[in-house]
């Protein structure tokens, strides 16, 4: 972590400062240009009508991105998908288009970063942009994006831990239930409880019903800090504690410990500080959104100790968050 990186050349440095490409990509993602071109090449004017935008301005954006290999500019003002543009199809499992969509929660995150200088000077944003502060539309977009991310990583966390040793698993702050659903599907002898804010309940019910788990998983709606958690053999806090400052994180762990059955375990799944590029990126994201911080292994162990817990294992999937296993 202390290795001195090789110095960038001037052109590489300026490339890191570029705002044109990120905004051009967000523009075509929001307009769903990739989906409009999925059936084959289209004329610029026809494309602009379909996207409800100005043809001249759209053409300039598309030519810019074609020069960078995203789209292909053909003769007579026609365009088609380049190989890279296929990441921006709406049904791509990466959900890249939805993350870039300026009508969704991704735009909330983007706008928050524009105030980074002010945040550094003040120590935080003027207004938080976390889930509890979102309106219904933004909260639904947030849930969709988190579900897409979790869907790609959930099987890895399922395989990293022997969940079959637990009869009842509680997923605290588990969004729409994608991760918990993956665990229950893989271990049919277990049952689960999803703890989430009321705004996410309807989507969670649809998710669980769609996977046939309604009878094995119930939903406890409300704020973690206002609820009495059910007694359980395991608690999973996936990408949750980084949303809290230390005092709240200790309280969250303490609430889980008090409901933990003897011999049970609490799993804290968060970004690992062993991957500094991803770790520091997420740390800046939670900074600009106005809540929490990323933490090192030592820092999580200290929070757990303050809640009366000790670490007994580390589970590291090939991708996604690392899971720290704690017990009382």
Catalytic residue among 168, 242, 275, 315: 242
How far apart, in whole angstroms, are the C-alpha atoms of residue 70 and residue 34?
10
Q: In angstroms, how far is CA 321 from the centroid of its own chain?
A: 11
Assess contact for 241 and 304: CB atoms under 8 A. Answer: no
Total Cβ atoms within 10 A of residue 305: 14
- Note if 242 is an active site residue: yes
How far apart, in whole angstroms, are the C-alpha atoms of residue 199 and residue 201?
6
In the chain, alpha helices (H) = 10-16, 20-30, 33-36, 44-51, 55-66, 96-100, 105-113, 116-122, 136-160, 178-186, 201-210, 246-259, 276-289, 297-306
Total Cβ atoms within 10 A of residue 211: 16
Cα→Cα distances 173→89, 125, 146, 239, Å: 29, 23, 11, 8
Contacts of 223 (CB under 8 A, 6+ apart): 132, 197
How far apart, in whole angstroms, are the C-alpha atoms of residue 73 and residue 6?
36
Select from 305, 269, 279 the least CA-distant residue to 154.
Answer: 269
Structure tokens at 288: 């600009």
Catalytic residues: 242
């Amino acid at each position: 972590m202390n290795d001195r990186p090789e110095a960038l050349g001037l052109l590489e440095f300026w490339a890191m400062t570029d705002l044109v490409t990120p905004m051009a990509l967000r523009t075509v993602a929001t307009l769903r240009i990739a989906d409009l071109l999925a059936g084959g090449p289209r004329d610029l004017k026809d494309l602009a009508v379909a996207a409800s935008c100005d043809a001249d301005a759209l053409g300039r954006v598309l030519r810019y991105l074609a020069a960078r290999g995203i789209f292909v500019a053909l003769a007579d003002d026609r365009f088609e998908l380049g190989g890279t543009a296929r990441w921006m199809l709406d049904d791509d499992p990466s959900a890249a288009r939805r993350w870039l969509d300026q009508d969704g929660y991704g735009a909330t995150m983007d706008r928050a970063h524009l105030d980074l200088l002010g945040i550094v000077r003040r120590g935080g944003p003027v207004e938080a942009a976390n889930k509890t502060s979102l309106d219904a539309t933004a909260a639904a977009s947030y849930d969709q994006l988190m579900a897409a991310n979790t869907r790609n990583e959930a099987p890895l966390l399922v395989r990293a831990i022997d969940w079959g040793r637990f009869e009842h698993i509680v997923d605290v702050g588990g969004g729409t239930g994608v991760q918990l659903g993956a665990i229950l599907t893989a271990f049919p002898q277990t049952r689960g409880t999803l703890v989430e804010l009321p705004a996410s309940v309807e989507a969670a019910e649809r998710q669980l019903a769609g996977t046939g788990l309604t009878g094995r998983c119930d939903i406890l709606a409300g704020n973690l800090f206002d609820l009495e958690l059910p007694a359980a053999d395991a608690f999973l806090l996936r990408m949750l504690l980084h949303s809290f400052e230390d005092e709240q994180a200790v309280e969250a762990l303490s609430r889980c410990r008090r409901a933990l059955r003897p011999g049970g375990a609490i799993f804290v799944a968060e970004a690992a500080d062993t991957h500094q590029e991803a770790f520091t990126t997420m740390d800046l994201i939670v900074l600009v959104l106005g809540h929490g911080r990323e933490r090192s292994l030592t820092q999580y162990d200290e929070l757990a100790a303050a809640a009366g817990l000790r670490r007994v294992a580390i589970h590291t999937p090939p991708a996604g968050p690392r899971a720290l296993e704690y017990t009382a």
